[in-house]
Amino acid sequence: MKTDQGNSESATVRLTIDGQRVEVPDGSVVLQAAEKIGIKIPRLCYHPDLSLEGACRVCIVEVEGIDFYVASCSVPVREGMVVATNSPAIRRARRDIVELLLDNHPRDCQTCERDGNCELQNLAYAMGVRERLFEGRRKNPTADESGSAVVRHPEKCILCGRCVRVCSEIQGVFNLSQHYRGFNTVVGPAELGPMDESVCIQCGQCINVCPTAAFLEKNNTEAVWAALADPEVHVVVQTAPSIRAAIGEGFGLPVGTPATGKMITALRRLGFDAVFDTNLGADLTIVEEAHELVRRLEGGGPLPLLTSCSPGWINFLEKFYPELIEHASTCKSPMSMLSTLVREYYAPRHKIDPKRIFSVAVMPCVAKKYEAARPEHLAPDGRPYTDAVLTTRELIWMIQCYGIDFSRLPNDLFDRPLGLSSGAGDIFGTTGGVTEAALRTAAEMVGGETVGRIEFLSVRGVEGLKEAPVRLGDKELLVAVANGLNNAKRALEAAAAGRRRYHLVEVMACPGGCIGGGGQPYPPRGTKILDPEILQRRAAALYQIDDNKQLRRSHDNPAVKELYADFLGRPGGEVSHRLLHTEYRAREPRGIR
């Protein structure tokens, strides 16, 4: 059952909550009605974008005429209902419930990755749990740290089921389930096996929605600290577009504050020898992908073209829709393009022994850790082109650890030439951005008019799937933009069934695109993860950066022009094909759609 307030029926229901009258659409639940009048009933397993679980019982309230407490997240409103959300007895019961949740939870807050960012910790404090009276049996399920991107610590799990729901309802992956029963229940992939051997597509949304630290990204900071401390190593870093739009949140800046300049200064202070911009990789991706699109429109390959920059999506394609692999753009992701150029172009030009280079990428993405380790992205010497991937969260922590006062830092600029980028590269971080960027360049290639901001229309009833007709030269194209893999599924099924003749389908695995990636900062206390408003503000920051740039189109970027003139030859040519493109294959276990 979905609990969207977007109820099409106009019928409303009037009820009284804590003495205040409120009118809400029929079909709402008590918890939502209370929100409308400024009462935020404590909750844990509830999430407005996910189905109801009713598992944690934290949101209990009293309803007149019912002689037991009810969970306000799952009780529909009724005309004339009288609800009390507060009384000494309710508060005490809530506190006991949270205390019992803690009973089976490790007492290791100070050494836990989520210390200070933990919903359970915050809730326990808010409910007034000041001592732990119960000392019961503990379960000790086995942790799985084998994953290249996602690690699992089930001893911290409180069985709220949010990860199970996000994995199935938003991502359509169904990799997580509850195993065993009662006290022995454990959440994990099939067979509780290793994450990398499951159908996991490594998007990391389970990490985002987990209220504790039961899911985390693989920590790669140790390797980066070690490289930074070694004077023999030339440490290069690149940052994805979405980092600048979100990193400030880690230091108390308002959500949506662009922080490019401060971020670069912080990276230099951490000791990185060169600070490059993944946006340049994005610009190259655009030039190559636009070339691919134009070639396919001229009859040189299957349509629709599927974008390839989101590694979670690529994993999904290989596991769930392998028969559509040849539709995917062969372009490497912007990260992998830039890492390749660091080794193959930057190092020789600057007479640096490639063996001495350590290439770090800061990504909003957990799946990028998995991508970096793929055999397709190894250099000829067998080392990965990208040596370490850090999430936005990991970088925030490194900056804190180093004692850098981020909010007071001066601004700095990226290093040339791999740090110069167009605004088209910036908007790569948000859903629809890749399409817009690609069409800006494709329009030039076919000699047509410049494509402006595309007004996408939501496909009926689906927030995360949009489409738009676009004029490109003398052709009318239909493009689709999906974020969240369930929405990608919808687009692919529509295309496969012949209901839609798309020419280009952009897919980003995470809700909102990279700005909502699995490696982005946990939301500030009191806000919820995947909040559309947070995502919109981060996206607005990227569009603002784009609007303020002189350079708006990838192919106008002088660094891109120089790269093609000096090194790569032409888009889709022999050198760029060898260095900037990749290939995909069906992978097992095969996902169940």
Note the residues at the interface with other proteins (CB under 8 A).
Answer: 168, 174-181, 188-192, 198-199, 302, 304, 322-327, 492, 495-496, 584-586, 588-593
Q: For residue 16, what is the enclosing H or E element?
A: strand 12-17
Closer of 119 and 144 to other proteins (Cβ): 144
CB of 473 to other proteins, least distance (A): 23
Closer of 195 and 399 to other proteins (Cβ): 195
- Annotation marks residue 167 as catalytic: no
- Tell me which of 242, 308, 329, 422 is the catalytic residue: 329
SS3 letters across 503-531: CEEEEECCCCCHHHCCCCCCCCCCCCCCC
Instruction: Measure the CA–CA gap between 246 and 257, rounded to whole angstroms.
Output: 7
CB of 305 to other proteins, least distance (A): 11
Instruction: Measure the CA–CA gap between 278 and 282, rounded to whole angstroms.
Output: 6
- Annotation marks residue 163 as catalytic: no
Closer of 114 and 327 to other proteins (Cβ): 327
68, burial (CB in 10 Å: exposed 0-12, middle 13-18, buried 19+) = exposed
Enumerate the β-bridge partners of residue 179. Answer: 186
Instruction: Measure the CA–CA gap between 454 and 102, rounded to whole angstroms.
Output: 49
- Annotation marks residue 371 as catalytic: yes
- Annotation marks residue 292 as catalytic: yes
CB of 271 to other proteins, least distance (A): 43
Strands 388-391 and 274-277: unpaired
Q: Give the three-class secondary structure for 483.
A: strand
- Tell me which of 62, 288, 344, 371 is the catalytic residue: 371
CB of 321 to other proteins, least distance (A): 9
Residues 6 or more apart whose CB falls under 8 angstroms from that of 300 comprise none
93, burial (CB in 10 Å: exposed 0-12, middle 13-18, buried 19+) = middle
Cβ–Cβ under 8 Å, residues 482 and 464: yes
- Annotation marks residue 8 as catalytic: no
- Tell me which of 288, 292, 394, 506 is the catalytic residue: 292
Instruction: Measure the CA–CA gap between 191 and 180, rounded to whole angstroms.
Output: 11
Burial 123-162 (b: 16+ CB within 10 A, else e): bbeebebeeeeeeeeeeebeebeebbbbbbbbbbbbbbbb
- Tell me which of 62, 113, 155, 289 is the catalytic residue: 289
The alpha-carbon radius of gyration of the chain (Å, integer) is: 25
Closer of 107 and 181 to other proteins (Cβ): 181
Q: Measure Cα distances from 451 to 119, 444, 472, 553 in Å.
A: 44, 9, 8, 10
CB of 60 to other proteins, least distance (A): 27
- Tell me which of 145, 376, 574, 588 is the catalytic residue: 376
- Tell me which of 218, 319, 332, 368 is the catalytic residue: 368
CB of 398 to other proteins, least distance (A): 34
Instruction: Measure the CA–CA gap between 22 and 3, rounded to whole angstroms.
Output: 18
Enumerate the β-bridge partners of residue 470. Answer: 477
CB of 249 to other proteins, least distance (A): 32
- For 402, the token pair is 């180093």
The position carrying tokens 């990391």 is 204
- Tell me which of 309, 331, 365, 510 is the catalytic residue: 309
Residues 6 or more apart whose CB falls under 8 angstroms from that of 123 comprise 42, 44, 58, 98, 211
Closer of 229 and 586 to other proteins (Cβ): 586
498, burial (CB in 10 Å: exposed 0-12, middle 13-18, buried 19+) = exposed
CB of 190 to other proteins, least distance (A): 4
Q: What's the number of CA atoms in the CB half-sphere (13 Å) around residue 459? A: 19
- Annotation marks residue 59 as catalytic: no
CB of 253 to other proteins, least distance (A): 39
- Annotation marks residue 177 as catalytic: no
- Annotation marks residue 289 as catalytic: yes
User: Which positions are annotated as active-site residues?
Assistant: 289, 292, 309, 329, 368, 371, 376, 514
